[in-house]
Amino acid sequence: RDFPRDIATERLNDLVAAAHALVYSEAPTSARRLRRFVLRELPGSVHAQLRWTGVAFVITAIFTFATFALGLAFPEIAANSLPQETRDNLAHRQLWTSIPEGLRAIAGPLIIVNNVQVAVFAFVGGMTAGALTLYLLASNGALLGTIFAVVHTYGLAGDLFTFIAAHVFLELSSIFLAAGAGLRLAWAILRPGERSRRDALRLAGAQSVRVMLLVVFVLGCAGLIEGFLSPSNAPAFVKVGVGLTTGALLWFYILVVGRVRRDSTA
């Protein structure tokens, strides 16, 4: 406790954790083991990497706000960066977000797969010393800012916000978590500290894989919401309420449960 960042302290913590697992070992499929993983190990690992999640958020926000401002200043250039079909829809004051009711059962899984792919690339990008992860954060932030600038120019920003309100909190949070896990890997490669690079990467990888388990689950929930609720005719307050509630539950799990469980094992 007196030297939380000391290499010997961290090594002793690893040994104590391993000894605890041996002494209190149970069948891998037992309910107690699963409960301990969900309520202690998983949120604790996510909470431990929050600073990297914050870095991912800041990078994305910088590019989002920068391109949004540029898009408002130069609307024609911003509009020309979008596909022609999108521009045609906007010219007729229509968004590209409608999903026919008969296709929503197919759209939901496709959305989940696409979002998980983005998250995995952001995570694995850490093995490129973070270069790919940073590129994905910057490019997605720039695209998000450009889209909102163009949609705002056409007076459809409110409609777009209503569409994304139900799923955007879960979706963006997951991308930030995945990218943060990737940046954690990159830091282990670039600055392993007193550990060997292999040991630093092993420890970072073990924590980051747990983060990705949560990311995949949350993106599954977000994809179902985006495929069914977001394109529906549900009132805006319902979509906003779902978005705020699910986002609050996720961050309560990370910030409160994760902190309590992490402190209890410190």
Instruction: Annotate 208-264 with DSSP letters as a single string.
Output: HHHHHHHHHHHHHHHHHIIIIITTS---HHHHHHHHHHHHHHHHHIIIIIHHHHHHH
The residues of the chain scoring below 70 in pLDDT are 1-29, 260-266
Spatial separation of the C-alpha atoms in residues 227 and 236, rounded to whole Å: 16
Per DSSP, the three-state class of 100 is coil
Instruction: Give pLDDT, residue 61.
Output: 97
Cα–Cα distances (Å) from 89 to 3, 19, 82, 95, in that order, read 59, 61, 11, 6
With beta carbons less than 8 A apart as the criterion, state whether 55 and 180 touch.
yes
What are the residues whose beta carbons fall under 8 Å from the beta carbon of 27, sequence distance 6 or more? Answer: 33
Please report the pLDDT score of residue 8 as a whole number: 58
> What 3-state DSSP class applies to 177?
helix
For residues 240 and 165, the answer to whether their CB atoms sit within 8 Å is yes
Domain spans in the chain, listed from the N-terminal domain onward? 50-256
What is the structure's pLDDT at 41? 87
**pTM as predicted:** 0.84
218-264 residue pLDDT tens: 999 999 999 999 999 999 999 999 999 999 999 999 998 877 655 55
